[in-house]
Chain A
């Protein structure tokens, strides 16, 4: 085989987590989740959720661990991590602000809200994708419809919904998170 110098390695979106260790409780939870399904593979989304809840993001090691537990190839799990936007491939801020940007919320002022957060936290409102502050405390992200169109604009701070978020309310949310 010719040694080629023009090719690139396979791009890797996942981070390595050298101190990766699955606590017994998490492994037990994973095994319990697997019992919910007649086919092990089905549990992959739930396992990814469990791992993300525990580690904050999905690392290379997590992918390999889950794949092995489900008797799959790692690519099968990697495919999912990159398909479903809720899974993070790198750590997000302790306070993850997800602002709905879809039509009803946009009509209700979601873009202003997003810009407000970015300005407050010193982030670039125009940039694509989730953005994390330098201290790793906050992540601001535009997401698609959060099913709260009647109370636009809506957002989530971690797992909590906030509806009808005025700029004033936004400040309160940030304050509640200890700014």
Chain B
């Protein structure tokens, strides 16, 4: 196939106007604010609602909010989450929240920050936080365990407090929650 070369107009053949146009762009950028950040000395301000790494949270009473329902493990597309349920003993003395994970691991190398885990969580126990640059010295280090995830997640200011409400309601009826 032969492609016919387009015939250039006089203005185009002059070459200089196009060069000047290029200079104009260059010069304009001299006076513009810089876009590139000097990472890691400079850090980006993460917008609200950003989906970073998923961490576990505790509630105001310091209870691990996760009840080990394993829905996030089920929904996780890259199978990055691994939960070990507590087994028959549950959580001794925890009242009506009988269950908490014995172990909770997220493989951050697998995690794709999709946010399904947060969306599916019935307990508001896992949140995608603002961390986007996770580093480690080996593959093992990138598997975050429960303690690490909880430490990173911090405390969630729970408005619903459903287990507390249930317990109060039960106590009002003279039933051990």
Interface residues of A (CB under 8 A from B): 2-6, 8
- The number of chain B residues with a CB under 8 A from chain A is 10
Check B176 against A6 for contact (C-beta < 8 Å): no
Residues of the A chain whose Cβ atoms lie less than 8 Å from the Cβ of B90: 4, 6
| Residue-wise interface mask of B (75-110) relative to A, using a CB-CB cutoff of 8 A (1 in contact, 0 not) | 000000000000111111110001000000000000
Whether the Cβ atoms of A6 and B91 lie closer than 8 Å is yes
Count, A-B residue pairs, CB within 8 A:
18
- Contact residues in B for A5 (Cβ distance below 8 Å): 89, 92-93
Q: Is the interface of B mostly helix, strand, loop or mixed?
A: loop
Interface contact A6-B87, CB-CB below 8 Å: no
Contact among B89, B93, B94, B176 with A4 in the assembled complex (CB-CB below 8 Å): B89
A-B contact pairs, 18 of them (CB 8 A): A2-B87, A2-B88, A2-B89, A3-B89, A4-B88, A4-B89, A4-B90, A5-B89, A5-B92, A5-B93, A6-B89, A6-B90, A6-B91, A6-B92, A6-B93, A6-B94, A6-B98, A8-B176
Q: Closest A-chain residue to B87, C-beta based?
A: A2
Report the minimum CB–CB distance from B91 to chain A (whole Å).
7
| Chief secondary structure at chain A's binding surface | loop
C-alpha spacing A8/B91, complex, angstroms: 13
| 7 closest residue pairs by CB, A with B | A5-B92, A6-B90, A2-B88, A4-B89, A6-B92, A4-B88, A6-B98
Which of A2, A5, A8: most chain B CB closer than 10 A? Answer: A5
| Nearest chain B residue, comparing its CB with the CB of A5 | B92
Residues of chain B within 8 A (CB-CB) of A8 are 176
Q: What's the Cα separation between A63 and B18 when bound, in Å?
A: 105
Could you say which residues of chain B place their CB within 8 Å of the CB of A6?
Answer: 89-94, 98
What are the residues of chain A within 8 A of B98 when measuring CB–CB? 6
**Minimal beta-carbon separation of A64 from chain B (angstroms):** 26
Return chain A residues, CB-CB under 8 Å to B176. 8
A47 to chain B, nearest CB (A): 30
Chain A: which residue is nearest B89 at the CB level? A4
Query: Shortest Cβ distance from A126 into chain B, in angstroms?
Result: 14
Residues of B within 8 A of A4 (CB): 88-90
Q: With A2-B88, A6-B93 given, can you name 5 additional A-B contacts, CB distance below 8 Å?
A: A4-B90, A5-B93, A6-B89, A6-B92, A6-B94
Per-residue CB proximity of B95-132 to A under 8 Å, as 1/0?
00010000000000000000000000000000000000
- Chain B 29-45, CB-CB to A under 8 Å as 1, else 0, gives 00000000000000000
CA distance A8 to B94 in the complex (A): 13
A107 to B91, CA, bound (A): 52
Complex: how many Å from CA A72 to CA B63?
A: 47
Q: How far is the CB of B99 from chain A (nearest CB, A)?
A: 9
CB-CB under 8 A from B87, the residues of chain A are 2
What is the bound-complex CA distance between A6 and B100, given in angstroms?
13
Nearest CB in chain A to that of B173: its residue: A128
- CB B103 to nearest CB in A, in angstroms, measures 18
- Smallest Cβ distance from A5 to chain B, in angstroms? 4
Q: How far is the CA of A3 from the CA of B93 in the complex (A)?
A: 14
Give Cα A2–Cα B89 distance, bound, in whole angstroms.
8
Q: In this complex, which of A2, A5, A6 has the most chain B Cβ atoms within 10 angstroms of its Cβ?
A: A6
Residues of B within 8 A of A3 (CB): 89
